[in-house]
């Protein structure tokens, strides 16, 4: 599956929703991490882009989330490593590869960075700093639904220090801020 085909698929299932922005943000972070780890940038990017393609339709039955996506992706003949990462991000399979684990830690991080950007007067990542993100992480009432431990798992799961990991994700998201509603 090409990147363009993946985008059309995801856009078709999600429409222009915040979930689409989240998928694009996740794609950008996954590409940046793949680059950092000298892994396959295109494959990691695709995993990020498609990971939530069924989220909106599974909103009322989250037990099905990722299972529906896996079925759709397998029918399209998508690389099984990508399907595995998608299943792993909603605990449907054990996360074994570095890509599985990266998707797990990136998923809440994009949401958190988005929330941290949107409360700024600029509503943008352009003037969002690492320091500001970390301060928000300590405020338990801020974006309370986002699991801080899952973000911090970057250290145990993919071997990146929190500062390093957040900087990579912030930079990746900022580079596409106009496409994800943060410009």
Complex with Fe ion: residue 52 or 54, whichever CB lies closer? 52
Which residues, 6 or more positions from 48, have their beta carbon under 8 angstroms from its beta carbon? 23, 26, 27, 28, 29, 30, 31, 103, 106
Complex with Fe ion: residue 88 or 160, whichever CB lies closer? 88
Complex with Fe ion: residue 111 or 168, whichever CB lies closer? 111
Complex with Fe ion: residue 20 or 137, whichever CB lies closer? 20
The distance of closest approach from Cβ of residue 48 to Fe ion in the complex, given in angstroms and rounded to an integer, is 9
Long-range CB contacts for residues 5-9, cutoff 8 Å, separation at least 24:
5/76, 6/46, 6/49, 6/50, 7/49, 9/50, 9/53, 9/72, 9/76
Complex with Fe ion: residue 54 or 107, whichever CB lies closer? 107
The distance of closest approach from Cβ of residue 122 to Fe ion in the complex, given in angstroms and rounded to an integer, is 24
| Residues 142, 135: Cα–Cα separation, whole Å | 10
List, in sequence order, every beta strand (DSSP E) within the chain. Answer: none
The distance of closest approach from Cβ of residue 153 to Fe ion in the complex, given in angstroms and rounded to an integer, is 15
Residue closest to 13 by CA, chosen among 101, 76, 96, 63? 76
Complex with Fe ion: residue 25 or 34, whichever CB lies closer? 25
Which residues, 6 or more positions from 156, have their beta carbon under 8 angstroms from its beta carbon? none
Residues of the shown chain interacting with Fe ion in the complex, contacts defined by CB under 5 A: 52, 107
The distance of closest approach from Cβ of residue 17 to Fe ion in the complex, given in angstroms and rounded to an integer, is 12
CB 85 within 8 A of CB 97: yes
The distance of closest approach from Cβ of residue 108 to Fe ion in the complex, given in angstroms and rounded to an integer, is 8
Tokens standing for residue 105: 């830690």
The distance of closest approach from Cβ of residue 121 to Fe ion in the complex, given in angstroms and rounded to an integer, is 27
């Amino acid at each position: 599956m090409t990147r363009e085909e993946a985008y059309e698929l995801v856009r078709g299932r999600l429409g222009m929703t915040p979930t689409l922005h989240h998928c694009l943000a996740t794609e950008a972070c996954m590409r940046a991490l793949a680059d950092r780890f000298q892994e396959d940038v295109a494959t990691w990017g695709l995993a990020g882009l498609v990971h939530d393609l069924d989220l909106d339709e599974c909103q009322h039955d989250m037990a099905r989330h990722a299972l529906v996506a896996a079925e759709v992706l397998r029918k399209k003949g998508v690389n099984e490593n990508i399907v595995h990462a998608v299943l792993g991000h909603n605990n449907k399979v054990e996360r074994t590869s570095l890509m599985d684990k990266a998707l797990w830690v990136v998923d809440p991080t994009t949401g958190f960075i988005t929330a941290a950007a949107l409360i700024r007067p600029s509503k943008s990542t352009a003037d969002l700093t690492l320091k500001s993100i970390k301060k928000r992480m300590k405020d338990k009432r801020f974006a309370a639904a986002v699991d801080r431990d899952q973000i911090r798992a970057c250290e145990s799961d993919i071997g990146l220090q929190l500062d390093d990991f957040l900087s990579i994700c912030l930079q990746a998201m900022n580079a596409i801020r106009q496409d994800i509603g943060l410009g």
